[in-house]
Amino acid sequence: MSEQAHHDEHEHHIVSPKVYVVIFLALLALTSLTVGASFIEMGIFNPIIALGIAVIKAVLVVLFFMHVKYSTKLTKLTVGAGVFTFFILIGMTLADYFTRAWGRW
Amino acid sequence: MSDSPVLTQDALEAAHHAHPPYQRHHFETMDQQNDATNFAMWLFLLTEIMFFGGLFTAYLILRNWYYPAFVAASHQLNVYWGSLNTLVLISSSFTMAMGVWCAETRRKSGLVLCLTLTFLLGLVFLGIKTIEYSEKIEKHHVPGFHYSLQSFLNPASDPAAAQYGDKPLALDMARKTELYFFLYFAMTGMHALHMIIGIAILGFMIFRARAGAYTTGHVTFVENFGLYWHFVDIIWIFLFPLLYLISRHQ
C-alpha cells in the first residue's frame, strides 16, 4: 500500500542556494521597479502596475522560498484551492457592494 | 484471561518497524509524516490568508467609497520608510530560506547565523515601524478621541500633505481619513503582531539550533516556520503598494 501511495511522491527536494539568491535579487529588482513606478504619473495604471508587481513577487516567494514548485501535488492543490476560494470570497463581496446602493452610502 | 490475544515479543518487534527517532508511530514512513505536516501548515496559512483577506477587502471597498479621504490620508505615509522596510523584510525572507537550506544540509553554525540574521532583520522592521507609528501619534493620526483633522482640512499647514499639493477636504470627507488610519493600524498592526510572534519563535529556535536540534535530518520545524515567515513577508508585499504607493499621484 505504501509502495503505491508513494510512487508518485518525490524525495525531499533541497532547493539550492543559487535559486534563493536569484529569487532574492528578482524580489529586490521588482521592489525598486514598483517604487520607481509610483513616482511616475500613470493614472489608473499606477495601482494596476503596483498590484501586478506585488502578485509577481508573491508568486516568486510562494513557488521558490516556500518550495511549492518542488512540493507534492497535495500541497499544490491546497495552495491553489486556497487562493481560488479567497478570490471567490473577495469577488462575491465586491459584486455585492458594487451592485447595491453604490454612491448612496 | 489466559487466552486473550497477547502479542509475542516477535510480533511486537515486527509491528514496531525501524524508523528514525523523530518519526511519530502513527506514520508509516517519514515521507508520509512530512507530507502531513506540510499539508497542515498550509491549511493554517490558508486560514491566515482568509483572515487578512477580510482586511484587504474592507480596504478595497472603503478606498473606493471615500477615495479623496484615502488618497489624502495615504499621503501621510513616508514612501522611503515603507521601501526600506520592504527591503528589510525581503532580506529576512532570504536569510530564512538560507536557514532552511542550512538545516537540510546539516550546517549547524550556518543555521544559527541565518536564524540570528532573520531575528535581527525582524527587529529592524519593527524598529522602523515604531518610527512610523510615533510620527502618527505625534500628529494625532491615531483613530480615537484625539484624532486630528488638521492635515486634511488645512493641508498647507502640514509639510507631508503640502508636498503632494493636497487640496483641503470638506469636513465630512476629511472625517473619513480616520477610517484609512483605522485600517492602516489594523493591517500593519496585525502584520506586526505576526512579526512579534515570529521573532519570539525565532529566539527559541536560535537557542535550540545552537544545541544542534535541527541539524539531525529532522527539519520539519525550521521548514514550517520558514513557511510562516515567508507568509508574513507576502502580506507585507501587498500592504506596501496598497498603503504607500497606489495613491501617490491622485
- What's the CATH code of the domain at B124? 1.20.120.80
Residues 138-167 of B with CB under 8 A from A: none
Cβ atoms < 10 Å from Cβ of B145: 6
pLDDT of residue A9: 46
pLDDT of residue B18: 74
pLDDT of residue A2: 44
Note whether residue B115 is domain-resident. yes
* pLDDT tens-digit readout, B44-67: 999 999 999 999 999 999 999 899
In terms of C-beta density within 10 A (0-12 exposed, 13-18 middle, 19 or more buried), how is residue A89 classed? middle
Cβ atoms < 10 Å from Cβ of B156: 12
* pLDDT tens-digit readout, B21-33: 888 888 888 888 9
Give the residue among A54, A78, A37, A39 at the shortest CA–CA distance from B90.
A54
Judge: B226–A65 Cβ closer than 8 Å, yes or no: yes
User: CB–CB of B152/B177 below 8 Å?
Assistant: yes
Note whether residue B34 is domain-resident. no
Confidence of residue B13 (pLDDT cuts 50, 70, 90): low
DSSP conformation letters of B10-64: HHHHHHS----TTS-TT-SSHHHHHHHHHHHHHHHHHHHHHHHHHHHHHHHHHHH
What whole-number distance in Å separates Cα of residue A59 and Cα of residue A68?
10
A74, closest residue in chain B (CA to CA): B39
Judge: B31–A6 Cβ closer than 8 Å, yes or no: yes
Chain A positions in Cβ-Cβ contact with residue B61 (cut-off 8 Å): 93-94, 97
Note whether residue B14 is domain-resident. no
What whole-number distance in Å separates Cα of residue B129 and Cα of residue B192?
8
pLDDT of residue A5: 43
User: How many domains does chain B contain in total?
Assistant: 1
pLDDT of residue A97: 86
What whole-number distance in Å separates Cα of residue B21 and Cα of residue B25?
10
Chain A positions in Cβ-Cβ contact with residue B234 (cut-off 8 Å): 58, 61-62
Note whether residue B121 is domain-resident. yes
- Residues A27-36: what's their mean pLDDT? 97
Q: Quote the percentage of chain B above a pLDDT of 90.
A: 80
Confidence of residue A3 (pLDDT cuts 50, 70, 90): very low
pLDDT of residue B171: 95
Find the DSSP H helices in chain B. 9-15, 30-65, 67-74, 79-104, 108-138, 150-153, 159-162, 171-175, 177-210, 220-240
Judge: A46–B248 Cβ closer than 8 Å, yes or no: yes
Judge: A79–B42 Cβ closer than 8 Å, yes or no: yes
Note whether residue B172 is domain-resident. yes
Chain CA centroid to CA B71, Å:
25
Residue B17 has pLDDT above 80, yes or no: no
A101, closest residue in chain B (CA to CA): B65
pLDDT of residue A8: 43
Chain B positions in Cβ-Cβ contact with residue A79 (cut-off 8 Å): 42
- Residues A90-96: what's their mean pLDDT? 91
Count contacts between A and B (CB, < 8 Å): 141
Residue B239 has pLDDT above 70, yes or no: yes
Give the residue among B190, B203, B214, B237 at the shortest CA–CA distance from B90.
B237
* pLDDT tens-digit readout, B171-227: 999 999 999 999 999 999 999 999 999 999 999 999 999 999 999 888 999 999 999
Residue B14 has pLDDT above 80, yes or no: no
Note whether residue B77 is domain-resident. yes
pLDDT of residue B23: 85
What whole-number distance in Å separates Cα of residue B77 and Cα of residue B2?
79
- Residues B94-117: what's their mean pLDDT? 96
Residues 41-60 of A with CB under 8 A from B: 41-43, 46-47, 50-51, 53-54, 57-58
Domain encompassing residue B63: 41-245
Note whether residue B21 is domain-resident. no
Chain A positions in Cβ-Cβ contact with residue B231 (cut-off 8 Å): 66
- Of these ranges, A19-28, A37-46, A67-76, B151-160, the one predicted with the greatest mean pLDDT is A19-28
Note whether residue B193 is domain-resident. yes
* B35 vs B116, more confident: B116
